[in-house]
């Protein structure tokens, strides 16, 4: 039986919208999510007259921040998320929202200067297809930012928080890997995967390196001949 990824994402995005994290009453969750966004924007450095693609834009939180600086296209497979994005974004002339599939991006080759693919590929059974499409629509030597949750580290830290009697800090979070995650990454696996398509030039762990590296953010260049060097740690 073929899994209906669009339907699954629609259900998950209704049940767990990202705005509940960005604007969470829990200061720890707000800190973690907004630190990731700050790192992404710092690595992306969107500039006027560039065209940026936000793959898996959900409710447009990052899209909106880019749209304050330059033109940006946000694409998501969830019609619910895009409706919410339109409500929050208003009539920003720099922003275009598109309903579409990350594995079949409806854009011409090399049309974008920079691309964000943040917290997306863990939700896709075939992440190689997504990264192939991202490579295709990004201009040669363009910038690509990929980020993923460090799921096993997140689970370990949640268990530690429970053991030391601070469960109230994560009472709204699942005890296991988040629903809808088909793939689990750490620094090594996401770097090796990304290097098959791009050249990874920088790695930032968020919100803190090593002890609290809950998200891994990679800055990449869309070179014609990506490195195939594997990292083993």
% residues pLDDT > 70 (the chain): 92
- Inter-residue contact 48 to 70 (CB < 8 Å): yes
Least trusted range by pLDDT, from 27-31, 50-54, 97-101, 137-141: 27-31
What average pLDDT score do residues 186-198 get?
97
Q: What is the pLDDT of residues 122-153, one digit of tens each?
A: 999 999 999 999 999 999 999 999 999 999 99
What average pLDDT score do residues 37-55 get?
97
Architecture (CATH level 2) of domain 5-221: 3-Layer(aba) Sandwich (3.40)
Q: In the prediction, which pLDDT does 231 show? A: 46
201 pLDDT more than 90? yes
What average pLDDT score do residues 186-193 get?
96
Distances (CA, A) of 101 to 52, 76, 187, 195, 206: 17, 7, 26, 23, 27
What average pLDDT score do residues 212-221 get?
95
Q: In the prediction, which pLDDT does 172 show? A: 63
Distances (CA, A) of 45 to 48, 61, 124, 181, 192: 10, 16, 27, 29, 24
* pLDDT confidence bin for 171, thresholds 50/70/90: low
169 pLDDT more than 80? no
Q: Domains of the chain: which residue ranges?
A: 5-221
Q: What is the pLDDT of residues 98-107, one digit of tens each?
A: 999 999 999 9
């Amino acid at each position: 039986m073929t899994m209906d990824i669009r339907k699954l994402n629609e259900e998950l995005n209704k049940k767990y919208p990202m705005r509940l994290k960005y604007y969470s009453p829990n200061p720890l969750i707000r800190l973690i999510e907004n630190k990731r966004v700050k790192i992404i924007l710092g690595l992306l450095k969107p500039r006027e007259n560039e065209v940026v693609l936000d793959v898996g834009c959900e409710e447009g939180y990052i899209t909106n921040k880019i749209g304050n600086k330059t033109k940006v296209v946000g694409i998501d497979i969830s019609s619910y998320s895009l409706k919410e994005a339109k409500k929050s974004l208003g009539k920003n002339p720099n922003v275009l929202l598109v309903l579409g599939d990350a594995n079949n991006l409806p854009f011409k080759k090399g049309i974008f200067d920079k691309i964000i693919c943040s917290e997306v590929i863990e939700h896709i059974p075939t992440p190689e297809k997504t990264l192939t499409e991202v490579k295709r629509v990004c201009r040669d030597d363009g910038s690509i930012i990929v980020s993923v949750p460090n799921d096993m580290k997140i689970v370990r830290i949640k268990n530690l928080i429970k053991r030391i009697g601070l469960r109230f800090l994560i009472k709204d979070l699942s005890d296991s890997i988040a629903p809808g995650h088909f793939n689990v990454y750490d620094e090594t696996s996401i770097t090796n995967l990304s290097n098959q398509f791009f050249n990874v030039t920088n790695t930032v762990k968020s919100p803190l390196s090593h002890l609290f590296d809950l998200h891994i953010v990679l800055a990449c260049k869309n070179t014609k001949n990506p490195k195939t060097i594997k990292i083993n740690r």
